[in-house]
Structure 1
């Protein structure tokens, strides 16, 4: 179905759009289509046919923020990622918003990156396919009073399967998904446990197997572990600061106070200070440990120690104190220290 109007654009609600446009254009908008030209499909080496077309249209959007939201919805619905080709200087006198973007599989991405070293040179995944797909958005002040001010020039001429697992693996992580991982980190998750928890939720949210496969393949909805780990490190630096820094101990002090107020037990903290030679010590006695002290008589006479280390980057030592009785070993206390010297253990 080709649409070409020399006199005036044709009005389309989303429901009345051609099927090819319905699959990529955001909902809850109407469109004035000036030109819709269906091109010959592109044939891949695997004999897949990729639909191609050109679209010149106007959208019922009169605000630059809404224009950005429309574009993000377009990326999400079309399963494409289109970074900016060039940035225009907007003074706001004639043009309120203007962006020209290209497919992430375009050679322009490689040209902008220059001779940057590849992270995985042996990988068979190919991002640069010389894709020619582009989109140009323009919102002019002279059109702002019209019903459909935002001009869209789309060249949907991809030379790769847009929704293949390989193409989807290059997409940018959705901002909402990024926020979900930050919330998981705040709840105490590590990168690995956050990923497992999030993917469990994906499995439960999918309505069928096909939807689940797309969700898991799409990096926008299911980030790779490298991204999650880097996001965690950024979050930790932002929330805790440097290791052994003031921010980290302030946060730990808050956790200790919350634990003491929770009624689950008692904890006491000594901050690490390399200048004064003060060791880091964190002692914890849970309610169970308290009951062992009160009710097991030999806890005051018989005590065993079990120390372990190398659990995390700071290499703190974790020492468990316990006693024995007829049922086996029972815990008496736990302390975490920055070293295992005699002075530190005595103070703990």
Structure 2
């Protein structure tokens, strides 16, 4: 509305149209002065019936939203004087910095007579009408006001910031939190999402999400560097130890001022005490660049049917042999008394990569352990060496040399190893590269570290690298931690929670590992003595494999070095699990994993709930009818007859008429026995069946 006493404007109707597009609609504005400076630019003086500072600030926020303009404070007035209660001057900041936009906005809130104060003697008629907020707007922009670039410069709204904070509290990263925010915005805006996504106030940019993320964690975990970091970290460790009631984490500084942190959480202690593999084999590796100051995170993990399980974590600021030795010494002070399954001297085997400092430190910490090189890391190191331009290997020779080196590493027997090495040293192409020959000779000299000791088919690629994928994806969410204090907090919370969930879910998830044993009939497994079994191959009738449960090995390629195979699963399924091979679905393993995860025992009924019937029960038809008992040809005929009777009954349903007719036509079109065998074997196994809701018979068991 226009002011009754001081309104000045040449074209009142056009002035109101322009002002209505910019001003927030929920307020009543009194226009005292308006001067046009062209088609869009103008100068105006406005009054509002607002008397409090909070109301003036709220109007300013609403004005930024309605006009699509972004303003920054240019001048403040802390002591506003006798007549003014609040005053701020703003400048335009809509597009980018240093545009010298002359547009300004002045907010002046006049003093209202408060209780007990002297009555105002001001002759301003606006104050008598309650118009205490004065707005002077100089709308003289040297850029477009309504454009995509202007929307990108808007301030992020309070609602969007609160939404991001809630997502961070439930362990979202800046990237995933922004994805959730965009997804929710798309559901609300629908067809208008393309315009809402360009508005920074409701859809912030990724850089803002990261700044907010680190700002929040700075409040929780203290400074990222400096003298205060040590105090913050020491406080975090003390709080964790007091909360758990024992010493699970320690820190110290070495003689050369290197920071060392050792952690063994309650779940890790239970892995030490209850898992037999922890005393047999340990994998050790490290990863840097985990936080903003490049601390090194070392993991000690052991294999299991549920994947790799952690035994300890230590963090250092250096990867020298002296620092790693100090970290391992500190780590042993937080290990439980029954460490490594009752072997206080350490595990029997420690598998590492080709890191001299780490291997020397492990030798000093566990002198009785046998250090083994990981074959896969040696192979990767050779691949990088061959493809490095500094070594001068021609492109056409690289595959040939790499194949020879792979054959050397994968030799199954000492005789085969000597044979491959002899052929390699007389090869014409190999002899052309003296650097490669010297490299192979150095690796061959250390063959006792990688070629003679079986590792049950486990390699650092399978376990340590998968463990570090957990660290980077589940713990760090593919970003650097704000500080080493936050990194330690993530180990206490996220890493512990991930492995607890894995161990809790392991029995049901690993159930599929033994499903293939249903293809191996009961009469195909023959027990020779207490530890030795012969298992016929399910694919080739003339072939059979020898399983020794005492050492957990099989003569098949998968189990020759002690790895898991279907033949060992068949023996465990037919004759019961052996302690050398506890597959993930046995009741004992379920109880073990549940205790490691929670520290509590589970009832036997819960452990046996998902078990299949034993071999005698299956032979008697107990438990389920969709099994494959070796009861002879007559039983198979009966089942086949029952299947066709069931299909015939479905003809009464119109939905099955066309599919059954198609099935009959396909059957009639088959002319040869080989085609019939192929069709029967592939029935129900096409990609559409597996991708849809219908599962294969194997998944029903």
The TM-score with structure 2 as length reference comes to 0.37
Provide the secondary structure at the position in 2 that maps to 1:280: strand
Give the aligned length: 299
Q: Per residue, is there more helix in 1 or in 2?
A: 2
Over alpha carbons, which structure has the higher Rg?
A: 2
Provide the secondary structure at the position in 1 that maps to 2:181: helix
CA 25–139 in structure 1, closer or farther in 2 if over 3 Å, else same:
same
Provide the secondary structure at the position in 1 that maps to 2:26: coil
Equivalences for residues 1-348 of structure 1 within 5 A: 7=5, 18=16, 20-36=18-34, 40-41=38-39, 51-88=40-77, 90-104=79-93, 127-141=97-111, 142=122, 144=127, 146-175=129-158, 177-182=160-165, 184-185=167-168, 187-189=170-172, 193-206=173-186, 207-208=188-189, 211-242=192-223, 243=225, 244-254=229-239, 260=244, 268-273=248-253, 279-286=260-267, 290=270, 294=274, 298-299=276-277, 301-310=279-288, 311-312=290-291, 313-324=293-304, 327=305, 329-331=307-309, 333-338=311-316, 341-348=324-331
d(CA) in 1 for partners of 2:35 and 2:190? 35
Cα drift, residue 71 of structure 1: 1.0
The one-character-per-residue Cα deviations of 1:244-289 (angstroms, maximum 9, x if unpaired) are: 421233235546666x59xxxx9811133457988311113538x8
Q: Per residue, is there more strand in 1 or in 2?
A: 1
Residue in 2 aligned with 1:119?
none
d(CA) in 1 for partners of 2:251 and 2:272? 28
Residue ranges of structure 2 left out of the alignment (5+ in a row): 9-14, 112-121, 332-701
Provide the secondary structure at the position in 2 that maps to 1:62: coil
Cα drift, residue 78 of structure 1: 1.5
d(CA) in 1 for partners of 2:254 and 2:159? 41
Larger deviation: 76-85 or 229-238?
229-238
CA 224–300 in structure 1, closer or farther in 2 if over 3 Å, else same:
closer
Larger deviation: 313-322 or 338-347?
338-347
The one-character-per-residue Cα deviations of 1:143-171 (angstroms, maximum 9, x if unpaired) are: 55532221122233334232322223333
Cα drift, residue 59 of structure 1: 0.7
Q: Give the structure, 1 or 2, with the largest relative contact order (CA under 8 Å, sep 6 or more).
A: 1
The one-character-per-residue Cα deviations of 1:304-330 (angstroms, maximum 9, x if unpaired) are: 213222033342322132134xx4744
Residue in 2 aligned with 1:111?
none
RMSD: 3.8
Provide the secondary structure at the position in 1 that maps to 2:143: coil
d(CA) in 2 for partners of 1:320 and 1:176? 44
The one-character-per-residue Cα deviations of 1:212-262 (angstroms, maximum 9, x if unpaired) are: 33443333344434444444444444332234421233235546666x59x
d(CA) in 2 for partners of 1:341 and 1:184? 37
Contact map agreement 2:77 2:88 (CA 8 A) in 1: yes
Residue ranges of structure 1 left out of the alignment (5+ in a row): 11-16, 42-50, 106-124
